[in-house]
Each structure stands twice: as C-alpha cells, then as structure tokens.
Amino acid sequence: MQDFDLYVPTHIVFGKDRISGLKDAVAPYGKNVLLTYGGGSIKKIGLYDKVIEQLKDFNVFELSGIEPNPKITSVREGVRICKDQKIDVVLAVGGGSVIDASKNICCGAYYEGDPWDLVLDCSKVKKALPLITVLTLSATGSEYDCSAVISNSETNEKLPLFGTGILEPKVSFCDPQYTFSVPRSQTIAGAADIMSHTFETYLVKEGNVLSDAMCEGMLKTVIKYTKIAIEDPDNYEARAQLMMVSSFGCNGLLAIGRTPSPWVCHGIEHEISAYTDITHGYGLAIITPHWMSYSLTEDTVDRFAQYGINVFDIDKNLDKMEIAKLAIAKTSEFFKSIGLPQTLSELGVTSEHFEDMADHMLSHWMPVETAIRPIDKAAIIKILNDSL
C-alpha cells in the first residue's frame, strides 16, 4: 500500500434539471461573473438561455470560442477580462476544454505575468478565482479535479496545469441531458478518454482490491454504455452512466494506495496533439493498445490478465499470457467497434516529429520510471511508430 493524499473539495450536483440551483451556487462568490464557453453548441441546446436566466441578477461577461485542445491565447483573453472587469467568479459551461481553459484563467487572474508561466511552472499557482462548471461532455473529468491541459501553438506544447486545493471547481453541475446532442465523434472520443484515464491508473505495478474494483467498474461502464449512447443519443441512462464515471478519471480516487503512475499514453498523446491538434481521445485510443503491448511482459502479465478476466470476462483458466494478449486485442476491438480511428496515419500524422516529441515528453512530462514497464526515448518512438 502506497501513501496517498485524497482531496476533492468540489460539490458534484448530478441529475436532471439541477441547473435550477446555479444561481445559489454562484451567489456566494460575488456579482461579476465571467461566463466561458466554446463554439456555441450551448446555444443550440438551449443551455445558454437557461444559464443567462439563472444569472439575471449578476453582471455577466463572456468569453466564447474556447477551442478543443484549448489554447493559451484564449486563456490570455479570459485573464484580461477578469482583470479589467474585476471578475468575482468564473462559470465554465462546456466540456473539458472550456473547463481547463477556465482553470488557467482563474489562476491567471491572480498572477502578474503571462498565464503560460503557470503551466510551465505549476508551483507559481498560488491563488485562483472560484470556478463553477456546467458540464456538457463526458470525457476529461476536469469538472471534479484540480488539473487542466493547455496548448501553446507557438511552441508546439500541450502541457498539464495542476493546482491541488486551488483549481478544483467549487460546484459542478452534471446533467446528462446536456450531452444528448453530443455527436458520435465526440461521444467516442470521450469514451476513449475516460478509459485511458482508467488504464493509466489501473495498469501500474501495484493495485489493491478496492481501487482495482473501481477501475474495472469504470471500464465496464464505458464499454457497456458507449454503444447505447451512440445508437440512441437521447438515452438518459447511458448518458448518465458515462457522465458519472467520467468525473472520477483524474482526481486521484482511482489511484488510492497504488503505485504512482506517469500516465504514459497521455504524455505521448499530448505531444502528438501539440504538433497536429488531433482530437485527444482519438490519439489515446490509437496509442493505448500499442502501449499495452509494449508494457506486457512476464513481469507485468498478472495485471493485464486481471484486466482481461475482470473486465472482458475472459476464461480465467486460460494461460495468463494468452488472457493478457486477448485483453489487449479486445481493447482494440472495442475502440474499433465504436468507430474510433485505429492509426495515426488516418488522422494525417506522420513520423516527422517523433524524435522531437519523445525528447520533449521526457524533458517536460512526469518522471516515467514508475511506469508498469520502464519507458525511454526508444520506447516512446516504438509506440509512436506502431501507432502509425
């Protein structure tokens, strides 16, 4: 059993039409609200109007157009509004990208320099505006954690921002109905993201009964309900299941007592996205089975076999290595079955920058020594090449 800290002080408000509590959630923090959102889908589904109705007694400023793989340029604009308008609280309405950008805006509002400094050196994150979120996409878990991922197109960097005890949203409203209109392409990318968060935590050297069970429950939920959600997009139960599990991806709960994980697939995918702006979940789905195959050895076979038996119900009497290989094959099959791309080439990614990506990851990502199988530059390039 490894030592751990667990601290997730966000209030999750989950269920139908619970947005009616938004006004009361915002009120304790002040009158000046920065409303952040993306490309306008919240207007199409009527959510924007509901939010504005809730905020009629507040001074609302807006930052719209926050992009997938959110850019530091959007963050800078948000920080400018916060400083100019004396914003009291940020309300992010959207998916992980909007929430992530908003986290960087919240801490940027209390920082004198460029908010990208905070990404490059998270120890500079000392204070942040309060953040409230209304979730519209089941994927990143940003609504219930202290981290964000921000991209810088000028430097081809996509890096995580952390702020334990500072960047967690105060309240996150999670109404599965707001995900009914999420297109298949984003639903499956979200599924891959949720599963990857789980794999990164689950496939480590040391697990334990409780957190293994949680991880397996996460994976089984996504496998069961993604197919229903893409065939029947307004299916409340399926959307609710995906939304519920998505929130547990990155806040440390799945990691209690386990070996720390360097989140290798996320490290590699962030490099690809930084150079090519591909959809995060697509990149993860492509890389993951190759990372698994790389990581499967005689030393690690037990974990992969456990995954196969407990998640895919593979016959436990088979040879362990066979079970493990079947489990990896079934992972690929599942991704393919919901329509996820299988190769980086399909997305137009070439091997041109693989060397740079590997170098950058090793110098900027978390220490990778604790990975279930050690990772080095050659290993990263192998996984990238296998994913082409």
**Is position 52 an interface residue for its own copies (rule: CB under 8 A)?**
no
60 bridge partner residues: 33
245 binds its own copies, rule: CB under 8 A: yes
Please state the closest distance from residue 283 (CB atom) to its own copies, in A. Answer: 25
Residue 188 token pair:
């499956």
Q: From the list 218, 323, 327, 344, which residue makes contact with its own copies (rule: CB under 8 A)?
A: 218
Site membership for its own copies, residue 221 (CB under 8 A): yes
Query: Considering the rule CB under 8 A, would residue 216 count as an interface residue with its own copies?
Result: yes
Instruction: Name the nearest CA neighbour of 100 among 117, 85, 78.
Output: 78
146 touches 164 (CB < 8 A): yes
Report whether 222 contacts 338 (CB < 8 A).
Answer: no
Q: Does 176 bind its own copies (CB under 8 A)?
A: yes
Work out the burial of residue 226: count CB atoms within 10 Å of its CB; fewer than 13 is exposed, 13-18 middle, 19 or more buried: buried
Q: Is residue 43 involved in binding its own copies (CB under 8 A)?
A: no
Residue 18 or 31 having the CB closest to its own copies:
18
CB of 352 to its own copies, least distance (A): 41
Q: Which residue lies nearer to its own copies by CB, 64 or 164?
A: 164
* Binding test (CB under 8 A) with its own copies, winner from 28, 183, 213, 302: 213
Any idea how long the chain is?
Answer: 388
Work out which of 257, 322, 359, 366 binds its own copies, going by CB under 8 A: 257
**Which of 7, 85, 351, 374 is close enough to bind its own copies by CB under 8 A?**
7
208 near its own copies, rule: CB under 8 A: yes
* Tally of CB atoms within 10 A around 120: 14
Q: Should residue 378 be labelled a site residue for its own copies when binding is judged by CB under 8 A?
A: no
Which of 346, 202, 352, 212 is CA-nearest to residue 288? Answer: 202
CB nearer to its own copies: give 126 or 224: 224
Task: Report helix angle 209-231 to 236-246, nearest 10.
Answer: 140
Positive or negative: CA dihedral 70, 74, 75, 78: negative
Please answer whether residues 133 and 102 qualify as being in contact, where contact means their C-beta atoms are separated by less than 8 angstroms: yes
* Residue 224 CA, distance from chain mean position: 20
Using the rule CB under 8 A, give the single segment among 41-49, 251-259, 260-268, 319-327 that binds its own copies: 251-259
Residues forming the site for its own copies (CB under 8 A): 1-16, 18, 165, 176, 208-214, 216-218, 220-221, 224, 236-237, 240-241, 244-245, 248, 253, 256-257
